[in-house]
Amino acid sequence: MGKVAVGAAVVCAAVTCAAAALLVRRRLKSSRRWARAMAILKEFEDKCDTPIGKLRQVADAMTVEMHAGLASEGGSKLKMLISYVDNLPTGDEKGLFYALDLGGTNFRVLRVQLGGKEKRVIKQEFDEVSIPPHLMTGTSEGLFDFIAEALAKFVATEGEGFHPAPGRLRELGFTFSFPVWQTSIASGTLMKWTKGFSIEDAVDQDVVAELTKSVEKIGLDMRVTALVNDTIGTLAGGRYHNPDAIAAVILGTGTNAAYVERAHAIPKWHGLLPKSGEMVINMEWGNFRSSHLPLTEYDQALDAESLNPGDQIFEKMISGMYLGEIVRRVLLKMAEEAAFFFFFFLEFLKFSSCFFFFFFVNFLN
């Protein structure tokens, strides 16, 4: 009988709780606070609206900036960086390769054994490492030493099925997802940090050289053979599986895009035209800004309080690092101007006291 009574009490309690929730919801909807809270959401929705006409205006503005960025350095909000990647994978590649992807609060390390057209990816393994927050605003040496040590630990787990070429250093592709001024396929100077990083002594330094110093310090037999942005890495991965892939977009902690451009359509390119006739361009479109973008008061406040006010406006509007903060600011306004959550809490308390009384009476009986 005891179990039956408890069970009945639990069922009754659940029904009472559901009824309380419905009553709270009904009272909320009939209140002025609810109306104000909904007005705040509706105002935010209207300001974020992007009908086809506005999207075309944004696209046209971005096209203008793209042409300006290809014409000259510093001529556009879009850096349109030359990647020095003029050939993308074909699927014929063979051998053991390592990759390091640094572009947010975590970095990933990967090794893959490629077997050419027939065998493709024979085997691959990867690991993900969280970056301690203090290293994101510390020193260049601190960050790259941490990365090198993680690389060494990963290499130490190299097992059966992975075969480095005899007498050769392990080759590492370094995906570095921040604006870099590249001077070759395996060197590049950091222009500025984004996505919450702010390591001053790394700016204007060759990031490959910084990583190489840390790798050599611990005696790791590995060399960086390619420096690419994550969008270019994504494009290369797409081309490996689909020869028609010509562009890649990143929507993660940050956002960016890369695409294959005709080499002769890049006025700022002063070297010999590559044999392929093509060049992959890293747009760095996170820094795009236009009067046609639907900037809200929340976007503007977030930008003003960020580590890089005035920069990366497009990124701050759509990428993962910032969207949660935008939501928080909307909810905060609802709490401040409509006392929305406090009112909900008070209303629920009125019913919860009855609920607990009912529950314990039934439980004791």
From 177, 214, 299, 319, the catalytic residue:
177
d(CA 116, CA 145): 34
Contact assessment for residue 101 and residue 110, using Cβ atoms and an 8 Å cutoff: yes
Contact assessment for residue 5 and residue 362, using Cβ atoms and an 8 Å cutoff: yes
d(CA 174, CA 102): 8
Q: Which residues pair with 96 in a beta bridge?
A: 113
Task: Report phi then psi at 359, rounded to 5.
Answer: -65, -50
Pairing of strands 180-184, 187-190: antiparallel
Q: How many CB atoms lie within 10 A of CB 18?
A: 10
Q: Is 230 a catalytic residue?
A: yes
Per DSSP, the three-state class of 34 is helix
Per DSSP, the three-state class of 107 is strand
Contact assessment for residue 335 and residue 341, using Cβ atoms and an 8 Å cutoff: yes
Contact assessment for residue 337 and residue 40, using Cβ atoms and an 8 Å cutoff: yes
Q: Is 319 a catalytic residue?
A: no
From 101, 145, 206, 230, the catalytic residue:
230
d(CA 177, CA 315): 13
d(CA 201, CA 79): 22
Q: Is 83 a catalytic residue?
A: no
Contact assessment for residue 322 and residue 305, using Cβ atoms and an 8 Å cutoff: no
The DSSP string of 319-350 is: SHHHHHHHHHHHHHHHHHHH-HHHHHHHHHHH
Q: How many CB atoms lie within 10 A of CB 297?
A: 13
Task: Report phi then psi at 189, rounded to 5.
Answer: -95, 130
> What Å distances lie between residue 202 and 29, 77, 80, 105, 258, CA to CA?
54, 22, 22, 17, 24
From 33, 36, 108, 223, the catalytic residue:
108
Q: How many CB atoms lie within 10 A of CB 32?
A: 9
Catalytic site residues? 108, 177, 230
